Structure 1
């Protein structure tokens, strides 16, 4: 099963390879037939893991497409569509996409690490520096955490906003990667400040200064870090992607990380798919945040309970969860997650669905979704060939 699934995943990555980079899906769906920053970089990480020269070249082209369409103020495109007649560049829909900037920097650096070729970093140093300056501006209060608008990242129809944990962690990862090349005391100090602020504001029992002391004192911390906070208080849903990054980046104490591992894996095993949901618990119509969730969609509402971001299960997210497990030598648990990712991707003759209803197992979103395949490739190579993302 593992070999077949791996080969099918590689096949899909070939199918989403275009002359301008990785597109989000092999389906002829307009919004997915584009080069996306986060999707493209995650597919690129899988390409690097695979060692496939053609896929790695597609990754390089993806990064160049993003860099060449950077906004003059530093914003990296959320997505780009290029055809014979025109180029359409989007920096976000209802709000700009903050994580496009950090994924771009991570992608450039990971390409350099794994190919032993720094040429893209040299070529796009100005673009990287502009992107980093923009992230600094997005702090607004110069206190080291970026402020993310509603719809400002991959969970673009969910309720997280303000100081979103996921985005702070991606920034730490991006800065650490870039500083491996720059060796800058200024960058090293910035990383230190951001980590301190994350640990002060998202971890329990912190005795350091908080952004929002009153809200911090009112929150009931669980066995994971809360997903976001803003002037209106904390949102305490479990964010699987963010907490996976906590495990990958070793944020907090060993105790905190063990708590996250135990909570996340137990949650995954309690579901029919054996996968950890993207956010948990799902927001129901009777919950306080339902109206915020219901109105946050540009076209049609998709975040029904247990679906999409609202408690849906994504192969892509589980790939990063299992990488976090591997970072803590949880090899057996990560292998179980890989098997469950492969089983999900194989539904309906390897349709590689975007996500699934965690309650019913029904598929949601587009089929032939590129980063569903990328998760399987990345994790397969990490488990079987010791491929390591540089953190």
Structure 2
């Protein structure tokens, strides 16, 4: 007797699974909203202790990709609020902070040359504009300053940004140099 195994579930099961994942993802985004944007983690004792209940530049921008065009007015407004919160705390040099306190009490830039928050913020801004939840001119002065700051990090004129050690998404990993990702 031979058994038949299918590597993938029937289409109706897969569609149901995708719908369930979509619903759960949108609910998680809603749970992590604050009046000033999307938090990097849900408010648990451990997250509060580690200061993950902040609006992190990279994490918020990635969430903006999901929230923009979601059709959920609350999430689309939160996408704008998140980008606004980061733009308000932009450094004079153009750098976008690694995180901002949702109550506007502080912002942190990690250290000089930490590029990921600025790069991801620019991606989030572009995405919000493309989906029409923000006008094309919104954040333009901040975008110009962010790009100028990033160009100042590109010393060799390769058009690749130089990244300091352990300054990418895996903050504790010892990688550095010219990167195609962050």
Query: Do the two structures share a fold, i.e. TM-score over 0.5?
Result: yes
Q: Which residue of 2 aligns with 1:154?
A: 169
Contact persistence 2:35–2:102 (CA under 8 A)? no
Q: Note if 1:69 corresponds to 2:89.
A: yes
Contact persistence 1:139–1:145 (CA under 8 A)? yes
Shift of 1:82: 3.4
Q: Which residue of 1 aligns with 2:152?
A: 137
- Greater share of helix residues, 1 or 2? 1
Q: Which residue of 1 aligns with 2:179?
A: 164
Q: Which residue of 2 aligns with 1:6?
A: 22
In angstroms, what is the RMSD of aligned CA positions? Answer: 1.7
Q: Which residue of 1 aligns with 2:140?
A: 125
Shift of 1:96: 4.5
Residue by residue, what CA displacement relative to the aligned partner does 1:86-127 show, whole Å, maximum 9, x if unpaired? 61101116x652011111111111111102642xx4232111
Residue by residue, what CA displacement relative to the aligned partner does 1:251-309 show, whole Å, maximum 9, x if unpaired? xxxxxxxxxxxxxxxxxxxxxxxxxxxxxxxxxxxxxxxxxxxxxxxxxxxxxxxxxxx
Q: Note if 1:23 corresponds to 2:43.
A: no
Alpha-carbon separation, structure 2, partners of 1:117 and 1:35: 19
Structure 1 residues 68 and 143 mapped into 2: Cα distance closer, same or farther (>3 Å)? same
| Structure 1 unaligned residues grouped into runs of 5+ | 168-391
Q: Which residue of 2 aligns with 1:106?
A: 123
Q: For 1:242-321, what aligned pairs fall within 5 Å after superposition?
A: none
Shift of 1:63: 0.4
Alpha-carbon separation, structure 2, partners of 1:103 and 1:54: 22
Residue by residue, what CA displacement relative to the aligned partner does 1:144-165 show, whole Å, maximum 9, x if unpaired? 2211101222121112201022
Alpha-carbon separation, structure 1, partners of 2:114 and 2:77: 25
Q: Note if 1:87 corresponds to 2:102.
A: no
Alpha-carbon separation, structure 1, partners of 2:167 and 2:100: 17
Alpha-carbon separation, structure 2, partners of 1:123 and 1:49: 17
Displaced runs of 4+ in structure 1, greater than 3 A? none
Shift of 1:68: 0.4
Q: Which residue of 2 aligns with 1:58?
A: 78
Shift of 1:76: 0.1
Contact persistence 1:78–1:100 (CA under 8 A)? yes
Contact persistence 1:96–1:151 (CA under 8 A)? no
Contact persistence 1:16–1:24 (CA under 8 A)? yes
Alpha-carbon separation, structure 1, partners of 2:138 and 2:21: 36
Alpha-carbon separation, structure 2, partners of 1:2 and 1:49: 18
| Structure 2 unaligned residues grouped into runs of 5+ | 1-16
Residue by residue, what CA displacement relative to the aligned partner does 1:321-354 show, whole Å, maximum 9, x if unpaired? xxxxxxxxxxxxxxxxxxxxxxxxxxxxxxxxxx
SS in 1 for 2:181: helix
Alpha-carbon separation, structure 1, partners of 2:70 and 2:143: 26
